[in-house]
């Protein structure tokens, strides 16, 4: 069973915008920090953005800072990624991730892929030049 499901990917021209969303698929869990990662063909999965449980702290990769915004709605247990001013180099499969460990519920956002134990299957984002 896939714990998380992403939506909102697609094809967009350079300079355009997309909004990705992520929600639990069926099972109920209290996700602490949540994050977005991406993986381009032939490259390793890389960190994009992360947000803490309260939603008042965020952390971004330098490559997306000022263009992408991560947010969450704890009432719906969802997290979103607003992507503006998209570039061809943003083309990748985007993955949502969550740290479900209760002992780390109030931890700061993190870029370390190892802290996330719930993942989605990914959604394709393609930016044409």
Predicted pLDDT of residue 2: 56
- pLDDT score for 85: 98
Per-residue pLDDT reduced to its tens digit, 73-101: 988 888 999 999 999 999 999 999 999 88
Phi/psi for 110 (5° steps) reads: -145, 150
Buried-state track 108-119, b at ≥16 Cβ within 10 A, e below 16: ebbeeeebbebb
């Amino acid at each position: 069973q896939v714990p998380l499901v992403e939506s909102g990917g697609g094809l967009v021209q350079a300079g355009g915008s997309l909004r990705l969303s992520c929600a639990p698929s069926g099972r109920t869990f209290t996700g602490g920090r949540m994050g977005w990662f991406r993986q381009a063909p032939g490259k390793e999965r890389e960190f994009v953005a992360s947000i803490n449980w309260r939603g008042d702290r965020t952390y971004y990769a330098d490559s997306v800072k000022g263009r992408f915004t991560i947010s969450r709605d704890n009432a719906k247990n969802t997290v979103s990624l607003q992507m503006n001013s998209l570039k061809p180099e943003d083309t990748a499969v985007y993955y949502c991730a969550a740290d479900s460990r209760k002992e780390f519920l109030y931890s700061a956002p993190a870029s370390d892929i190892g802290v996330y134990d719930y993942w989605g299957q990914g959604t394709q984002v393609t930016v044409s030049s």
